Structure 1
Amino acid sequence: MPVRNVLFLMTDQHRTDTLGCYGNPVVDTPALDSLAADGTRFDRFYTPTAICTPARASLFTGQYPFRHGLLVNPERNGGARDELDDASPVSARPLLERGYRMGHVGKWHIGRNRGPEHHGIDGEHLTGALNPVHHPSYLAWLEQNGYPGFSVKDPIFGKAENGTGRGHLIAGRLQQPAEATMEAFLTDRTLELLDRYAAGNREDGRPFMLSCHWFGPHLPYLIPDEYYDMYDPDSVPLPGSMAETFAGKPEVQRRYSEYWSVDHFDADQWRKLIAVYWGYVTMIDRQVGRLLDALKAHGLWEDTAVFFTADHGEFTGAHRLNDKGPAMYEDIYRIPGIARVPGRPAQVRDDFATLIDLFPTILDIAGAPVPEPCDGRSLLPLLSGEPSDGTREQVVAEFHGHHFPHSQRMIRDRRHKLVYNPESVHELYDLETDPHELHNVYQAPAYAGVRRDLTVRLYRELLRREDPAYTWMSYMSDIGGDRAPDVDGVADEVA
């Protein structure tokens, strides 16, 4: 029987270095590690933008954020679009047209009011960025199972910079057993749909695509004691980038550090917070295991492609920052990318790929047409073990703001990264000699050639994409004769 079903698993704000399959020697993630061992692990997998709504909209449409227009989270919208345009290509449409059963459980966050049901997908619209612990469905499920309600003790807050009192909630002890958590609830709901789709598949052969999107391990880390204390803080190394001084960096990074009161916590407190974050990752991995086991129990393991990824990463103290925001470091742009397609080899790939590529990949697996315009390229050839064709040697990402408008563009190849900040100093990092991205060498004479090369490559790529950001570079960057004429076609003639 051909591979047609898809199980898509996604977390929120998930650091790649928290998984055993990505090299963490402490964190226990057997379900995801086994999935990676049996499939493809991408070591250079990136989000197109490190912010929830734009990244998720890119996954759903196969388009760059500037093209689909959902540039920021609607909760803190700085004037961008709140919902996808009705004409936007979405992955649901061609799959439904091919007879797919489609279900979505968990975080949606693609726009403000329209949920999965708007696109013909089975599932409830759980609104917002964080665990909806007061949602009627969750409350009814708790009561039905005799579980205690949501309650937190020993909350850990930052400190407000303006001296008004406590800042953001970072962590706390959840007074519920693991089986009563929102993560377990979402997994139960996914299992219900899986049971239904598996039965339907046996009856009529119709394939399915089923997604489960957990809200964690996004902060605040509110988890039961079992996971809160799972890892000894003494086993947690502090990120090397905690040595950040912000010297030679955009001033917005320093201000963002103050906004999150990162320096309010000392080294021991940060080790504990990171240990709790790790516990959250393990708690979700247990839920992943439940879904993979159920897929096998239904006899669908060899008929179903399984994907695991995240919308973006999290700082968790790295660079003296927290959450995500106006700094295009690897901590929040590089994400897990794991795919198991039956019949394809187990392997590790170091080709650059992004969330946007998953849109045409899933349609490729389904034999469905890819609607245009699509900015991604199917990963199925790579998943099938085909050699690299030399076209995935760099990644370009964008950012439009979080908490406040702020635009950036980034190009990263196998050794260097250039971040274009039109309102501030630009950044250039040599990731071979400076893996923690502490030293901005943009102005260093020894890197003048690298700086010019990356600047021109970024400009050409933005121009190719028709990203309006290329116009900033036309007049503000060292791109020489590569500058294109103005849209009215007269600039070069006048010059």
Structure 2
Amino acid sequence: MSPRNVLFLMTDQHRVDTLGCYGNPLVRTPALDALAAEGTRFDRFYTPTAICTPARASLATGLHPFRHGLLVNPERNGGSRDELDDSQPMFATRLMEHGYRVGHVGKWHIGRERGPESYGLDGEHLPGALNPFHHPSYTKWLQDEGFPPFAVREPVFGTAANGTGRGHLIAGRLQQPAEATLEAFLTERTLELLDRYAAGWKASGTPFMLSCHWYGPHLPYLIPDAYYDLYDPESVPLPASMAETFAGKPDVQRRYCEYWSSDDFDAAAWRKLIAVYWGYVTMIDHQVGRLLDALRSHGLWDDTAVVFTADHGEFTGAHRLNDKGPAMYEDIYRVPALVRVPGAPAQVSDDFATLIDLNPTLLDLAGVPVPEGCDGESLLPLLHGEPAAEGTRDQVVAEFHGHHFPYSQRMIRDRRHKLVFNPESVHELYDLETDPHELHNVYESPAYAGVRRGLTDRLYRELLRRGDPAYTWMSYMSDIGGGRAPDVDGVAAEVS
């Protein structure tokens, strides 16, 4: 297969249920819905961990977080690595070694100091976890275009649980037109690179991979009035999991609810916040449409694969929580994923896949060999309509290492059940068929004893296969049939 161009689009902290193509009848996302209609929509797509830096590092390296070592965001570092090791090459580097031009615009957040230019990519490092409203490049662009500077009115804050007053900023009205937002700025920079890459493709056949990573719809939701008021709060349904009581669950979830002052907002306030979040999604969808239109106008639609996904989801009131954190619910682990490959069928995939799988998929698309040791598996056969081998994509395992404070968790999820292993607390087991909103922890229920043991055994075996050190705790502290413990060399042995 000849080398193929790639346009890679990524959002941050994006809930699956905010897109029309995933069943939301109210949110307007025409660009992404059209992309889904022409490509593959993955319905069981997951992040390897619901934290920005480790998730993005896993996408870039094709490695599980515990292997690449960037376990938390640098801003909240609990003692793990701050930068990738030089022995862990990114897929972008391999593409460049095979003649690709590679550009990156927008959020990077893979480490603390190094940006895309540090790895030879075309692009500027915009550091940090949140929209860099005061970055010199953005402020200069505003001045050059005659746009007003960044300013917010009517900010919405939570309340600090320790009684010190103001808590986290959640939302606010951005005093700029939509054309002046940072999202529009990032799109403009991407369009500039696309112009250059399209010219190179036409002149010499030089393939490219171009990424645009928007910071939204990550909170705080700071957007113009036109999008802030786009959706009527009265039409917004509250998440069913707002009925959360935290009964029989790790106490850290209740503490996290207090940390984000989630209960300080009444039903009307939550409906407005969710409506604003939806407006943010629609604003980004408009920018997606601009890039897809430009791809068509350059005559590249039939020569370019388009990928859209997110690094992880967001609670936005679900389970009486906000942001993301020490709870492995579907709200933050299941993410949207749309992939259009020219010539491949339009379809919906029910197979499990993760961000890590996109790493070898992009290399596969380009005809570049996937390096040994890559933890992902190419999705290209699935994208072309081939069925997954039996038993290969019937579960997903994810990990978590902390956010704001160190906290370790592991999760296994199959087509019906989910087990969350919490070393410091009670474990969790959910029957997603009878309890899709994950409100009832049935880990201790005698009726689920067989399911519990089966999932625990499968999680243990998978962690052991990966070399994830978490298996050592499970060896002695989990309900594993037959009993297992590591031998003196650190290799697990079954004990009859």
Q: Give the TM bin, normalised by the shorter chain.
A: over 0.9
AA aligned to 1:60 is A
Q: How many angstroms does 1:341 deviate by?
A: 0.2
Aligned partner of residue 324 in structure 2, secondary structure: coil
The CA distance in 1 between the partners of 2:376 and 2:387, in whole Å, is: 19
* Aligned residue in 1 for 2:364: 364
3-state SS of paired residue (2:280): helix
- d(CA) in 1 for partners of 2:495 and 2:49? 37
Deviation at 1:57, TM superposition (A): 0.1
Contact 1:257 1:320 in 2 (8 A): yes
1:401 pairs with 2:393: no
1:239 equivalent to 2:245? Answer no
**Which structure 2 residues correspond to residues 218-367 of structure 1 after superposition, within 5 A?**
218-367=218-367
Deviation of residue 478 (structure 1)?
A: 1.4
Measure, in 2, the Cα distance between the counterparts of 1:47 and 1:373.
19
Matched, 1:467 2:429: no
Counterpart of 1:168 in structure 2 is 168
Offset at residue 487 of structure 1 (A):
4.1
What is the TM-score with the length of structure 2 in the denominator? 0.98
Question: Take 1:356 and 1:124, find their aligned partners in 2: how far apart are those partners?
Answer: 24
Cα separation, 2, equivalents of 1:494 and 1:483: 5
Partner of residue 380, structure 2: 380
How many angstroms does 1:346 deviate by?
Answer: 0.1
Aligned letter for 2:84?
A: L
Number of positions where the alignment pairs a residue of Structure 1 with one of Structure 2: 495
- Report the counterpart of residue 37 of structure 2 in structure 1: 37
CA distance in 2, matches of 1:214, 1:165: 31
The 8 Å contact of residues 239 and 318 in structure 1, kept in 2 or not, is answered as: yes
Show the 5 A alignment for 1:49-88: 49-88=49-88
Change (3 A) 1:111 1:491: closer
Q: CA deviation at 1:3?
A: 5.7
Report the aligned-residue RMSD.
1.4
Post-superposition Cα deviations, 1:143-199, rounded to whole Å, max 9, x if no partner, equal 010000000000000000011111000000000000000000000000000000001
In 1, the alpha carbon distance for the partners of 2:495 and 2:206 equals 62
Instruction: Give the aligned partner of residue 183 of structure 2.
Output: 183
Q: Give the 3-state SS of the residue equivalent to 2:271 in structure 1.
A: helix
How far is 1:317 from its partner?
A: 0.3
**Partner Cα distance (1:25, 1:217) in 2:** 19
Per-residue deviation, 1:490 = 10
Contact 1:356/1:375 (CA < 8 Å) preserved in 2?
Answer: yes
Residues 405-420 of structure 1: matches in 2 within 5 Å?
Answer: 405-420=406-421
Alignment of 1:3-18 (within 5 A): 4-18=4-18
* TM-aligned CA deviation for residue 488 of structure 1: 2.9
Specify every segment of 5 or more residues in structure 1 that has no aligned partner in the other structure, as ranges. none
Distance 1:273 1:489 in 2: 49
Paired residue for 1:144? Answer: 144
| 1:231-261 alpha-carbon deviations (Å, 9 max, x no partner) | 0001100000000000000000000000000
Is the 2:464–2:492 Cα contact (8 Å) retained in structure 1?
Answer: no
Is there any run of 5+ residues in structure 2 with no aligned partner, and where? Answer: none
CA distance in 1, matches of 2:490, 2:32: 53
Secondary structure of 2:482's counterpart equals helix
Q: Which letter does structure 2 place at the counterpart of 1:331? A: D
CA distance, structure 1, for counterparts of residue 492 and residue 264 of structure 2: 51
CA contact (8 A) 1:3 1:303 kept: no
1:372/1:152 Cα in 2 relative to 1: closer, same or farther (>3 Å)?
Answer: same
Q: 1:490 to 1:332 in 2, by over 3 A?
A: closer
Q: Which moved more, 1:302-311 or 1:388-397?
A: 388-397
Query: For the Cα contact (< 8 Å) 2:53–2:109, is it kept in 1?
Result: yes
Q: 1:211 maps to what in 2? A: 211
SS in 2 for 1:434: coil
Query: Matches of 1:244 and 1:491 in 2, distance apart?
Result: 38
| 1:2 shift after superposition | 4.1
CA positional deviation for 1:482: 5.5
Q: Distance in 1 between matches of 2:383 and 2:193?
A: 27
> What is the aligned partner in structure 2 of residue 480 from structure 1?
481
What is the aligned partner in structure 2 of residue 120 from structure 1? 120
Q: CA deviation at 1:64?
A: 0.3
Contact 1:2–1:303 (CA under 8 A) maintained in structure 2: no
Q: Secondary structure at the match of 1:286?
A: helix
Matched residue, 1:433: 434
Post-superposition offset of 1:113: 0.3
Shift of 1:493: 11
8 A contact 2:16–2:335 mirrored in 1: yes
TM-score, with length taken from structure 1: 0.98
Distance 2:491 2:168 in 1: 51
Query: Cα distance 1:264–1:96, how it changes in 2: closer, same or farther (>3 A)?
Result: same
> Take 1:64 and 1:432, find their aligned partners in 2: how far apart are those partners?
28
Distance, in Å, in 1 between the alignment partners of 2:491 and 2:33 is 57
2:451 partner amino acid: V
- Kept after mapping to 2: 8 A contact 1:3/1:304: no
Change in Cα spacing, 1:482 to 1:306, as seen in structure 2 (3 Å) is farther
Matches of 1:368 and 1:388, distance apart in 2: 22
2-structure distance, mates of 1:389, 1:66: 27
- Partner SS for 2:458: helix
**Contact map agreement 1:105 1:212 (CA 8 A) in 2:** yes
TM-superposition CA deviations, 1:353-375 (whole Å, max 9, x none): 00000000000000001123100
In structure 1, the residue corresponding to 2:419 is in which secondary structure?
strand
SS in 1 for 2:433: coil
Structure 1 residues 381 and 492, CA gap change in structure 2 (3 angstroms): closer
Q: Give the drift of 1:412.
A: 0.2
* Offset of residue 89 of structure 1: 2.8
